[in-house]
Structure 1
Amino acid sequence: MKINNNNFWSEALISEFIKIGVRKATVSPGSRNTPITLALAKAEEIKKYAVVDERISAFFALGMAKAGGQPVIVECTSGTATAELYPAIVEAFFSRIPLIILTADRPPRFLGYGANQTINQVDIFRNHTRLSIDAGLPQVTSKGIKKIFDITQMVYEVLQNDPGPVHINLPFEEPLEPRSYTSEVSENFIASVKKLSANNKYSQFKVKDPARFSESTEFKEILNLVINSVRGLIIAGPNETGNPDCRESILELAESLDIPLLADVASGLRFLRTQSSNIIANADSLLRSENINWAVKPDFILQFGRTVTSKATLKFLSTTRSPRYVINQFGDKFDPSQNAKAYIAQHPTTFINALLAELKSAGPLDSSLQKKRKKWLNFFKSADSKIEEMKRTVISATRFPIESRIVNEIINLAPEGCNIFLSNSTPVRDFDYFASKSNKNLHIFFNRGASGIDGIISTAFGIAAASGKHTTVVIGDQAFQHDIGSLAMANNLGLSITIVLVNNNSGGIFYALPVSEYGEDFKKYFVLPQNLNFGEIVKGFSAYHKLMPSWQYFKREYLTSFEREGVKVLQFTTNADESHQIRKAFWEKVDSTLSTEITTLLTR
């Protein structure tokens, strides 16, 4: 039987990836990646998405992996096409998103001799991948086929034990097309390859034994604090909503201990179907007060999820002397202040279940301790309630179109269970500052791994494609400009999405920094207004665009956007400086109003 070595080997590799759970792939057109592209095209089990731009393709795959929780293949040709993948790989690395990066390459002998589209791709992403392999030229031998099994076994083990992007570099000799034969193999060889594949089993991930952890010194230390302390505090940082059980467990712990739960907007806890007064939605506004910040002295802090969005909370964590335990499945050090007492590598649900079991065995708390805990919790509840009232009187009363009001307009109108993707820079921060609790079970997504503003729309497209749910993106004009080319995907792939574009014609977030006092240099090098006509640009991609003249108009357009196909861009034109002044005025009002609460907090 005549074969092309590249294609035979590529098909065998893709067959093994199917066995470890790959069901989606993005493909970008090129020549050198022909063998892997055609192998994917032949794989009926894998849904393929053809995307022209490699950078967009990688972010799109990132979004699909976020929403689906399964590894997604990203493949491309050689040269700078490979380098285009890097921003999404960085985000996937810090977010622990499983991407399998397949980059085609020229044979090694061409490197350094001026060959077209030839760069050094070996270990090109080494600082931001969990595994990097150069597969070498395909060898259609028993040893060469075994190498495929070795590669996929390594990939599988890494994705199970230490999730994130993995990179496999695939050099191919010409010819690249399947009917350009390079070898002849026997039927016996084909049969032996199929038998080897059928017998190739992938080792299962071994879950850490929770019983052993509950015997550890750290666990006993935490248990003692939980049982005997008055002022406990739980902080829930960003945690994408692929695992609702985790959020439910965190809430159950807070309610069982009768302690406050400070919920970052990206934790998803503010939007559970079952709401709780233990969830504090306004921690940022609360902890901005220097007096409150000084007075809040927990006996212990349990931190779940990623590093929090709120700078006020981060400042509080950097100055507190309270023992803090950072708990996540892989023991990641989400601790910029580097003062946590311990990093605990346990799945939050496993950890919480073990803790709750021990608490049940320990029996009910002393009544005087329960009373003191209730007082501690009630301070946070009261403060949270007062801040909510101030949001209604201050933010909701502002004229159209102040940026901070857009947050709860979207939350109030969003359909039950829909996706909301929050762009970095101002949108995610405004949502953390101002988003109120809701029982709509909204799914919050974000790119907070490296927190860049590129690839936002592409990632959201991936989330929409994988989840099949209504998806809203809230984005600023600079992030929109970074990823505007991704709009072309909608028509090609039949995707629908609603984009709420907050256009303040600047880097609005810089108004909150001290550099804003530097006059013309600030405007010229930081604000950097672009004066773009986004309406005309969006229409060039055959997408829908409308300028928002009022809140009522936005309500109508936003609700009807879910009935339209394709991309819908609803643009607010705002003033960054004016919006910043409203935020400042709000926080000053919170600070002055809550000053009277400090006496209550300080009295045990």
Structure 2
Amino acid sequence: MKQFSSKRSIQILAHLLKEYGIFNFVISPGSRNAPLAIHFSETDEFNCYSIVDERSAGFVALGMAKSEKKPVAITCTSGSAAANYYPAITEAFYQNVPLLVLTADRPTDFVDIFDGQTIRQKDLYSQHSYGDFQLLEDGKENADEQNFDLIKKAIELCFEKKGPVHINIPLEEPLYEMVSELPTFPPVEKTIQKKSFEIPSNLVAEWNTSKRIMILVGTRDYSEELEMQLSQLVKNHSAVVLCEANSNLRNENFFSHIDRYIYNFSEEDYKTYAPELLITVGQNVVSKKIKQFLRKARPKNHWHIDEVWQPDTFFSLTEKIETSAENFFSKLLNFAKLEPQPFYNLWDVLRDKKDLKHQEYCLLTNFSDFKFFESLSSKLPENINLHFSNSSAIRYAQLFDFNKNKVYCNRGTSGIDGSTSTAMGFAMRNKNQTVLVTGDLSFFYDINGLWNNYIPPYTRIIIFNNGGGDIFKIIPGPSSTNALDEFILTKHHKNAELLAKHFGFGYTKVDEEDTLLRVLENFFKPDLKAKILEVDTSAVENAEVLKGYFEFLK
């Protein structure tokens, strides 16, 4: 016989989640949230996942939400457990990934009286959530009606903003009273708002009179519609489209390796290649050089297109266009003049020159992080879900071609803390193979991302282990300090072999190029369990190889 929680607030919550189609539920263990764990695990419609570490659980849910492109609910017990969600919530906030965060709490009278596992949970995430709600305890007057309205508002806000929304749920003891039958709740009238958009005539005029148009696409999910729209805009060389690996765009007329082209720009180059009209799409851009370039360029007009975020990243924003990129360009294409412009040819000549230099350097380079990424780009199967960790991994990815796959990276806050957990959460809800490419520090930092029973056997993890945070040898500054090795780079001699065995992964280690190429031939093929490949480059001065690359491009 099924047993459900007797808590009316939990029954109402489950009813509304079903009404809005939120069925994936990540549960971390505890007693205060036991009514939620009992209720949702006993309800057939919900897919429940047990993730012990709340910090990892938040990122696992984020990966699931990115995979399915709809909200995922997470729940934990009270106290510091709720605080451990915060890194994933900030990432979801800046990526616009919908998480419904359900924190169980002590009754409101227990806060700040030194009761166990009790902190100030109300509005805990207010700086990085799109809404914060606190339910009434079941025994309070009009609790059912108010909680129904609050939960409904929270869920709709999560859909509208595509980001994290918090519901704090004070629960009185007893926590383990159950019922075998549920009450009937009233039907839900959904009131999610959708904004209409018509393109202003002044924007059409700006496009049609601009001779130097640049479209810069940052981090965003793959969109066939947007890819087709931008392809139409560049077909006649009317505009320059710059994109990155995690922009998920594919067209030979797009400029896909920004740093390859602009890394060694002189002051004169900054003027020569500057746009008159800049249109930005998507979110965080990896390349620091493009930020420096466009901040110096100060384009006459800068439009940013996004439904939620309108950041003035380049200190030149003139138009905040609050709609989807697909909606905007569908309207623009009805009016835009698509005439060939010398500006495109200018960039095209630059590209040909730098691409040739890139190919020459690849032939000169021996086994290293750089060579690993070159080899990986040629050996990956098509149509996989390719996740990169932050720091070096996503930066190396910009230099090579990974556009036959969908690329993901946590660039909302750009931290290394949840890359593995995010990729594993994505893999749990996706039928296609997920491959995580991660640096050693990012992998070791987030090993609890492997601590669950749901990772599909076709999941693959590749660790390039250079013996520390090699990014700090690449960027200017850290190498000039005495603190580099121990406190910044955090040099180490660890490997993942025993961790792989502990978590039930297959494991292979390589430390030279021929073996790497041979292993990559079979690494992605089906197997009975998930696998880890560790590429040990710790004996190589990888930072010098990469610095040599950019010097060679001059």
Range into which the TM-score falls when normalised by the shorter chain? over 0.9
Partner residue of 1:248? Answer: 228
**2:252 equivalent to 1:290:** no
Partner residue of 1:411? Answer: 377
- Structure 1 segment 499-518 matched on structure 2, within 5 A: 499-518=461-480
Inter-CA distance 197–320: structure 2 relative to 1 (3 Å threshold): same
**2:424 equivalent to 1:435:** no
Deviation per residue, 1:100-119 (Å, 9 max, x gap): 11111111222233322122
Distance 1:100 1:69 in 2: 13
SS of 1:358's partner is coil
**2:547 equivalent to 1:581:** no
Distance 1:334 1:112 in 2: 38
Deviation per residue, 1:245-275 (Å, 9 max, x gap): 2333233323356222111111011xx3xx3
Distance 1:379 1:112 in 2: 65
**2:386 equivalent to 1:420:** yes
Residue type of the partner of 1:338?
Answer: F
Distance 1:92 1:454 in 2: 13
Deviation per residue, 1:344-401 (Å, 9 max, x gap): 2121111111111012xx6x75xxxx3xx1x33223223223322222221243111x
Partner residue of 1:570? Answer: 533
Distance 1:261 1:551 in 2: 35
Distance 1:492 1:237 in 2: 31
Distance 1:566 1:447 in 2: 26
Partner residue of 1:447? Answer: 410
Distance 1:411 1:511 in 2: 24
Partner residue of 2:365? Answer: 398
- Structure 1 segment 213-362 matched on structure 2, within 5 A: 214=199, 216=200, 220-241=201-222, 243-255=223-235, 258-269=238-249, 272=250, 275-276=251-252, 278-291=253-266, 292-359=269-336
Deviation per residue, 1:296-330 (Å, 9 max, x gap): 12221111111311111111111012134343332
Task: Judge conservation of contact 1:131–1:167 (CA < 8 Å) in 2.
Answer: yes
Deviation at 1:501, TM superposition (A): 0.6
Deviation at 1:238, TM superposition (A): 1.1
Residue type of the partner of 1:155?
Answer: A
Distance 2:5 2:324 in 1: 44
Distance 1:118 1:418 in 2: 43
Partner residue of 1:481? Answer: 444
Partner residue of 2:422? Answer: 459
Partner residue of 1:207? Answer: 195
Counterpart pick for 2:511 among 544, 549, 553? 549
Partner residue of 2:155? Answer: 156
SS of 1:357's partner is coil
Residue type of the partner of 1:282?
Answer: H
Distance 2:300 2:353 in 1: 29
Deviation per residue, 1:167-203 (Å, 9 max, x gap): 111111111113489xxxxx9xx7xx62x422x2111
SS of 1:280's partner is coil
Deviation per residue, 1:400-446 (Å, 9 max, x gap): 1x1122223222222221011111111111111x12365x2x11111
- Listed as ranges, the gaps of 5+ residues in structure 1 are 182-186, 592-604
Residue type of the partner of 2:229?
Answer: S
Give the length in aligned residue pairs.
Answer: 549
Identical residues among aligned pairs (%):
26
Deviation at 1:493, TM superposition (A): 5.1
Deviation per residue, 1:510-562 (Å, 9 max, x gap): 11233234253222321121221321232222222211133343334334333
Partner residue of 2:351? Answer: 384
Task: Judge conservation of contact 2:457–2:527 (CA < 8 Å) in 1.
Answer: no
Deviation at 1:456, TM superposition (A): 0.7
Task: Judge conservation of contact 1:101–1:166 (CA < 8 Å) in 2.
Answer: yes
Inter-CA distance 50–379: structure 2 relative to 1 (3 Å threshold): same
What TM-score comes out, normalization by structure 2 length? Answer: 0.93
Task: Judge conservation of contact 2:237–2:344 (CA < 8 Å) in 1.
Answer: no
Inter-CA distance 513–414: structure 2 relative to 1 (3 Å threshold): closer
Deviation at 1:458, TM superposition (A): 0.5
SS of 1:22's partner is coil
Deviation at 1:79, TM superposition (A): 1.2
Partner residue of 1:600? Answer: none
Deviation at 1:475, TM superposition (A): 0.9
Q: Which has the larger radius of gyration?
A: 1
SS of 2:468's partner is coil
Aligned residues: CA RMSD: 2.4
SS of 1:136's partner is coil
Partner residue of 1:597? Answer: none
Residue type of the partner of 2:421?
Answer: S
Deviation per residue, 1:148-180 (Å, 9 max, x gap): 321232123312332211111111111111348
Task: Judge conservation of contact 1:26–1:48 (CA < 8 Å) in 2.
Answer: yes
Residue type of the partner of 1:329?
Answer: D
Task: Judge conservation of contact 1:16–1:152 (CA < 8 Å) in 2.
Answer: yes
